[in-house]
């Protein structure tokens, strides 16, 4: 297994990490036998970064049980996340954290994240509850070793959060299908100047491994008919030196062995110019389904009304290229279902400032109306409303 170095601590992090959101299930419940096989196969392959979260049903408890049973706690770097969307008062920090220690059967969290900070306002809300002194106390007492945040939102908000605190690491969604989505390549490069960057969603929930358009598959195979779509997606990421760990929600030992072997042979700079042209061609194929010709340059932002314009348009296009459900999920995450103030298309007041700034001269106001119609039908609005009420937003 190849490793990256956390320069602040000297920790050697496996470039392939185990994402623990989708442990194997039987009849809707985590299958402990199969999950144990996944975890132990990961250890055997040299994977040492394990990522879970409070809101992954049963994940923390399953991981804690299996770690304790097999005595592997000190063989891994354990990452989990504060469910910031549920925090209402200062006392909630300890309430959630102590329960996570209990679930995970550990006395410390190596890499602790503030889960899904969508914007700077959400971070400031936590600051107002005293989270900075709480973090300092936990680090002083070695309960938290490293503090970071995961992010879903526009790039300019990512930079604001990045510059608002002395973070140790961060986690972003990033893949070859849209390198300008959310934090994007700009956010990646900025963060990597001072901290490790962990990548989630490398396969876009499996869409880049199992549901590529036929023309995209043919394009990849014309270059190398032995390489899987998964391999193409992971190679693109490991080619970039700014990336410390790529998380993969591997479901069985075979996938772990395959991906670990791939990690070994994909050092930084592995992708040739010819192969980069193949990625570009595949992205063109994916973009052919786009209904709005947005490049994600974000010159139109920030919007005076707080709309995440590029995120809205990107999700709209994804709903055609990779499926409506994927587009809705991307839209909901990008427009801050858990943020203090949502940045969805409905916020637009048609002032036209964005259209004046757009180098592509896209009719953005019309586009946002299309976004709202397709990605915010009544059932979705009801679900979002219930979720925000439950989270006190």
Which of the 8 DSSP states describes residue 378? H
Q: Measured between alpha carbons, how far is 64 from 222 in angstroms, rounded to an integer?
A: 45
Closest of 207, 158, 215 to residue 178, by C-alpha: 207
Domain made up of 3-277: CATH architecture: Alpha-Beta Barrel (3.20)
Task: Look at residue 340 in the predicted model and tell me its pLDDT.
Answer: 66
pLDDT, one tens digit per residue, over 271-296 is: 999 999 999 999 988 878 778 877 67
Q: At 17, which helix (H) or strand (E)?
A: strand 16-19
Using an 8 Å Cβ cutoff, are 313 and 292 in contact? Answer: yes
Below-50 pLDDT ranges, the chain: none
pLDDT, one tens digit per residue, over 203-226 is: 887 778 887 889 999 999 999 999
Three-state DSSP class for residue 145: strand
Sign, CA dihedral 21-314-379-303, equals positive
Task: Write down the pTM of the prediction.
Answer: 0.82
Q: What percent of the chain has pLDDT over 90?
A: 68
- Which residues are 197's β-sheet partners? 170
Task: Label residues 60-70 b or e (16+ Cβ within 10 Å = b).
Answer: bbbbbbbbeee
For the chain, domain boundaries: 3-277, 309-390
Closest of 279, 274, 271, 185 to residue 229, by C-alpha: 279
Q: Measured between alpha carbons, how far is 30 from 159 in angstroms, rounded to an integer?
A: 37
Q: Please count the residues of the chain.
A: 393
Task: Look at residue 338 in the predicted model and tell me its pLDDT.
Answer: 61
Three-state DSSP class for residue 13: strand
11-14 and 3-6 strand pairing: antiparallel
Task: Label residues 153-188 b or e (16+ Cβ within 10 Å = b).
Answer: bbbbbbbbbbeebebbbbbbbbbbbbbbbbbbeebb
Task: Look at residue 17 in the predicted model and tell me its pLDDT.
Answer: 98
Find the angle CA(135)-CA(137)-CA(138) to the nearest 5 degrees: 65
Q: Measured between alpha carbons, how far is 8 from 11 in angstroms, rounded to an integer?
A: 8
Report how far apart, in Å, the C-alpha atoms of 341 and of each of 3, 48, 119, 140, 367 are: 39, 37, 9, 33, 21
Task: Look at residue 337 in the predicted model and tell me its pLDDT.
Answer: 66
């Amino acid at each position: 297994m190849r490793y990256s170095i956390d320069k602040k601590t000297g920790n050697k992090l496996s470039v392939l990490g185990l994402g623990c959101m989708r442990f194997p299930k039987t009849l809707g419940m985590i299958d402990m036998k199969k999950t144990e096989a996944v975890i132990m196969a990961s250890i055997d392959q040299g994977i040492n970064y394990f990522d879970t979260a409070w809101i992954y049903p049963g994940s923390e408890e399953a991981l804690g049980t299996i770690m304790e049973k097999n005595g592997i706690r000190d063989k891994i770097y354990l990452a989990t996340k504060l469910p910031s969307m549920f925090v209402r008062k200062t006392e909630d920090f300890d309430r959630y954290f102590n329960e996570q220690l209990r679930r995970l059967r550990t006395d410390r969290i190596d890499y602790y994240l503030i889960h899904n900070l969508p914007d700077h306002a959400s971070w400031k809300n936590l600051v107002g509850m005293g989270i900075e002194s709480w973090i300092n106390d936990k680090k002083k007492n070695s309960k938290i070793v490293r503090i970071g945040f995961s992010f879903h939102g526009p790039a300019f908000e990512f930079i604001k959060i990045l510059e608002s605190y002395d973070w140790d690491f961060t986690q972003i969604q990033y893949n070859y299908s849209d390198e300008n989505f959310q934090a994007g390549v700009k956010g990646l490069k900025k963060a990597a100047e001072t901290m490790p960057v962990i990548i989630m969603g490398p396969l876009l929930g499996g869409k880049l491994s199992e549901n590529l358009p036929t023309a995209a598959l043919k394009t990849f195979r014309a270059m190398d008919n032995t390489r899987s779509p998964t391999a193409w997606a992971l190679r693109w990421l490991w080619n970039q030196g700014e990336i410390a760990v790529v998380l993969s929600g591997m479901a069985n030992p075979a996938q772990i062995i395959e991906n670990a072997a791939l990690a070994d042979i994909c050092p930084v700079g592995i992708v040739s110019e010819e192969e980069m042209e193949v990625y570009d061609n595949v992205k063109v194929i994916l973009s052919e389904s786009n209904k709005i010709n947005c490049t994600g340059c974000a010159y139109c932002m920030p919007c005076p009304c707080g709309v995440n314009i590029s995120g809205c348009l990107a999700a709209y296009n994804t709903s055609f290229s990779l499926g409506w459900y994927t587009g809705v999920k991307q839209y909901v995450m990008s427009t801050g279902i858990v943020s203090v103030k949502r940045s969805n298309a409905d916020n637009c007041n048609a002032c036209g400032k964005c259209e004046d700034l757009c180098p592509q001269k896209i009719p953005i106001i019309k586009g946002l109306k299309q976004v709202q119609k397709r990605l915010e039908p009544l059932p979705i609005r009801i679900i979002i409303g219930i979720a925000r009420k439950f989270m006190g937003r």
